[in-house]
Amino acid sequence: MKFFIDTANIDEIRDLATTGMLDGVTTNPSLVAQSGRDFIEVLKDICATIDGPVSAEVTALDAEGMIKEGKTLAKLADNIVVKAPLTWDGLRACRALSSEGIKVNVTLCFSANQALLAAKAGAAYISPFVGRLDDIHIDGMELIEEIRAIYDNYPDLETEILVASIRNPNHVKDAAIIGADVVTIPPSVLRQLAGHPLTDKGLAAFMADWEKTGQKITG
Please report whether residue 104 resides in a domain: yes
CB 4 within 8 A of CB 184: yes
For residue 34, which of 7, 62, 2, 73 has the smallest C-alpha distance?
A: 7
DSSP E strands: which ranges in the chain?
Answer: 2-6, 24-26, 54-57, 80-85, 104-109, 125-128, 160-163, 182-185
**Catalytic: 83?**
yes
Dump pLDDT digits (tens) for 106-153.
999 999 999 999 999 999 999 999 999 999 999 999 999 999 999 999
pLDDT of residue 32: 85
Handedness of CA 110, 111, 112, 113 (dihedral sign): negative
pLDDT at 165 over 90: yes
Domain residue limits at 43: 2-213
Please report whether residue 219 resides in a domain: no
Please report whether residue 58 resides in a domain: yes
Q: Specify burial of residue 132 (Cβ count, 10 A radius: 0-12, 13-18, 19+).
A: middle
Please report whether residue 125 resides in a domain: yes
pLDDT band (50, 70, 90) for residue 46: very high
What's the domain count of the chain? 1
CA distance 174 to 215: 43
Please report whether residue 218 resides in a domain: no
Identify the CATH number of the domain in which residue 209 sits: 3.20.20.70
φ and ψ of 180, to 5 deg? -60, 150
Please report whether residue 207 resides in a domain: yes
Catalytic residue of the set 44, 71, 75, 83: 83
pLDDT of residue 28: 86
Looking at residue 158, the DSSP 8-state letter turns out to be: -
